[in-house]
């Protein structure tokens, strides 16, 4: 049975999608952008934006009863591959042991003009 996961500790969806869906022990987290859920603000710079994205993912994982240790796949979307190294350093702090599979792409544009968006899949 499909279960919608929603938390006030992550940004509200800006379109017709859920923050996350859990089904059969797998959690699919929609792409998270660096919106601070408390203020609605977007921090400046790739370092701060990546940190905010990871905090948003953490909040959704926790709401669903998962942790970063359960993450098996991430897809990182960047507005510019010049930001890859910095994004990778921040991202790596959350996955210091047994990191998940991952893909990273540069895209033409991201919602609200942000620099990074990350989607995540976790399994129990």
Cβ atoms of 116 and 53 within 8 Å: the answer is: yes
Residue found by looking up tokens 């929609």 in the block: 30
- Rounded distance between C-alpha atoms, residue 67 and residue 17, angstroms: 22
- Rounded distance between C-alpha atoms, residue 110 and residue 17, angstroms: 16
Consecutive H or E run containing 94: helix 84-94
Tell me the per-residue pLDDT of 12-45, one tens digit each, with 9 for 90 and over.
Answer: 988 899 999 999 999 999 999 999 999 999 999 9
- Please tell us whether the domain made up of 3-123 is placed in CATH 3.30.1330.40: yes
Domain boundaries, the chain: 3-123
Structure tokens at 23: 């089904």
Tell me the per-residue pLDDT of 61-96, one tens digit each, with 9 for 90 and over.
Answer: 999 999 999 999 999 999 999 999 999 999 999 999
């Amino acid at each position: 049975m499909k279960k919608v996961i929603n938390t006030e500790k992550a940004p509200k969806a800006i379109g017709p999608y859920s923050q996350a869906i859990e089904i059969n022990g797998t959690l699919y987290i929609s792409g998270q952008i660096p919106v601070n859920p408390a203020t609605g603000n977007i921090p400046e710079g790739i370092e701060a934006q990546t940190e905010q994205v990871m905090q948003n993912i953490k909040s959704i994982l926790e709401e669903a009863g998962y942790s970063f240790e359960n993450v098996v796949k991430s897809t990182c979307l960047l507005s510019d591959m010049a930001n890859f190294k910095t994004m990778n350093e921040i991202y790596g702090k959350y996955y210091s042991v047994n990191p998940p599979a991952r893909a990273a792409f540069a895209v033409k544009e991201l919602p609200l003009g942000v620099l990074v968006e990350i989607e995540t899949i976790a399994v129990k």
